[in-house]
Chain A
């Protein structure tokens, strides 16, 4: 299936109407939020996933279990010994960006390792992948990197109908400790099991109050059913939602970053787990939610100091209540037809 690139479809919006709808642009995000609220010295904590993992352990934030980490380039022999007994695992570069360099193994077939797509690869390919990560192929600026091997998350079956081959994760934007927007990224057949929206994954806007779906978008077009399975999104309700949002909000204390994107997965047994935190979260979440971030961020910015200094529970309660879809004017218009469906 071929889709026209986004910029060839329809008439562009005017800057004024974007502003009226409270859409946050890339430049404003960089200058107003990232530069102002994210101190540079805190970046290493989130840019290196091994650091994030350690900090999360200290802050008692649950994360996927780390099997092992290669700090330096290791020999083929040792790498093989470590991989050999494993059945399901994920190999990640500690400083990869945009999900690059992540290799997921879902099972074994004798000597071969199975990828989610069903493709089989052998141990040498895995070793080369590890060595590529070490050499810095996936890290920013080509700096030498560390490799981490994690257990594969045992996904909650609630997502089975909504994700094709891939890893459904929830992205929550946390601003000054307040969760402000959330989305679920569902991979599809077109996105080839990847969760990147511009590759054809579905962006599902999640209502902060209920954990239900308020909006879903693929290729920039509003959809109501998963393109591969045909299951309507209105049936989806994310379990343990309150716990998940609280976990995201607690990352503010853990990282010290004011403007933060948290990627969270739901494990069948352990519940929500923090995959990674991002100091420069993208803006696609606005498209998934069909709503702008700017008004929400500005609302938090104008809060009184004492409100800002509230504890985690109060912050989460306040945000879940205030940013619930019922209140957001831009989404109300689209609500009735959704309710009928």
Chain B
């Protein structure tokens, strides 16, 4: 394979991998492609309250499980004074268990979790929820009327439906209808029961396996909400969730499932008047942070072995370092396609990085000031017949003193921005001054102007590209794109056409 083809194959491969990883991170891991995307993160706080009986206390709260339409990002427990805290798994349920040797008075325990809604997806089938149906015993004489009412409701619903699902809808609508005589009779008999309790009872009478779903509706800024219930029935093939008040199948969009089937939500031993209430707050958080939080838990290798695993301080350094290749690309493009002359090939990139910290105008004026003063000092030094290394070291010292002086003077004058001057690469500037003074002596002051002007122009263009918010976003969030960038540089390195400057340079030859 000729080197040229190798370059194209390699570059194509690099671009493909870079772009592929980027697309994967965007679609699968949810990293936003553009800056400024936000996601709503719901913070749900469950508060367990009970009055302790002056003795050993044990409280167990069923915890929500990972589910498909919601993703749990983070969970925290707070339980002051409760030494024994742990989570246990039993019967496909996770339960938080708080224990304390002795407690008295009102006790408050908190469990908090952050969730995001993921685009609608079907519920996973519960592992092995019981299909057993226990028909209610209504044989006693005084229960005759209730039994007949239930049977009438079931028959009525049965006549108006074709399958289990439509039957359930009919039944639930009837049970929610306050003008229905049969329904009112049943409700009067079971005064202490809730709507869902009665729904379950009637469904059991109709021999349909069913259980309740406990959860809550996610609405911003809600406090002390009691848990809400949905129903889930088995239609012979699937489990289907129903809204009890309107009888419609499916889980409402903003419903967060806490517990599916199973036993109680909360068990307290050694206490009374126990209850669970929920508070919900919505926060808008940058989509990237959400993606990071959610991938953290899955231990995604692409994220786990990336710069995100570094401490924040190092990350912000990397944010800058990752921009260097972009600057290098700008230099390559300007050199290969335009043909700009600069002093020191990649010196403009270092300048551009300094400009990012100092802001453009401050940076430019400081650089020009240092260059002019430095050249002036260098011309004096050249008359002292010093050795080169000593002379450059002297220029370095002079540059540092100049930078210090500029900082102090501008601070006294109230120009805060000039304090960021420390970001200038001192040694590079000293070398630049040395080379420029040679160019001045051997070529011409005009050549110095051309070269430093070229360097500054490239630096400003590189700065402009590197501070673009899209570029910043892409380099930091999709470092894989560096591979694509490498591919582009390889391809550009193969360009054999004319440079823009050559169109002018060889103009005279076309006559």
Contact = CB atoms under 8 A, between A and B. Distances in A.
Given A15-B503, A25-B502, A32-B496, A137 B438 contact: yes
B158 interface: no
Nearest to A132: B388
Given A128-B385, A137-B388, A15 B501 contact: no
Interface in B476-499: 493-499
A241 to B, nearest CB: 24
Interface residues of B, number: 34
A142 B431 CA distance: 10
A199 B439 CA distance: 12
A60 interface: no
A18 B431 contact: no
Given A131-B387, A132-B388, A217 B508 contact: yes
Given A31-B494, A31-B496, A6 B505 contact: yes
Nearest to A330: B509
Contacts of A221: 508
Interface residues of A, number: 50
B508 A28 contact: no
A15 B497 contact: yes
B502 A135 contact: no
B499 A287 contact: no
A192 B277 CA distance: 91
B494 A220 contact: no
Contact of A287 (B438, B501, B503, B506): B506
A298 interface: no
A198 to B, nearest CB: 8
Contacts of B289: none
Given A18-B510, A137-B438, A26 B502 contact: yes
A13 interface: yes
B475 to A, nearest CB: 27
A124 interface: yes
B299 interface: no
B503 to A, nearest CB: 4
Interface in B325-373: 336, 339
Contacts of B447: 199
Nearest to B502: A25
Contacts of B503: 12-15, 18
Contacts of A28: 496-498
B444 A13 contact: no
B507 interface: yes
A256 B500 CA distance: 33
Contacts of A25: 496-499, 502
A6 B504 contact: yes
Contact of B501 (A7, A11, A19, A217): A7
Contact of B388 (A125, A135, A194, A286): A135
A129 to B, nearest CB: 10
Contacts of A334: 511
A290 interface: yes
B434 interface: yes
B385 A125 contact: yes
B339 A11 contact: no
The 3 closest A-B pairs by CB, nearest first: A135-B388, A12-B503, A28-B496
Interface of B: 336, 339, 385-389, 431, 434, 438, 442-444, 447, 450, 493-511
Interface of A: 5-7, 10-15, 17-19, 21, 23, 25-28, 31-32, 100-101, 124-125, 127-128, 131-132, 134-138, 142, 192, 194, 196, 199, 217, 220-222, 286-287, 290-292, 330, 333-334
12 contacts: A25-B502, A28-B497, A31-B494, A32-B496, A135-B387, A136-B388, A194-B442, A199-B447, A217-B508, A287-B509, A290-B509, A333-B511
Given A17-B510, A23-B498, 11 more contacts: A13-B510, A15-B498, A15-B503, A18-B498, A18-B506, A25-B502, A136-B388, A137-B438, A287-B509, A292-B509, A330-B509
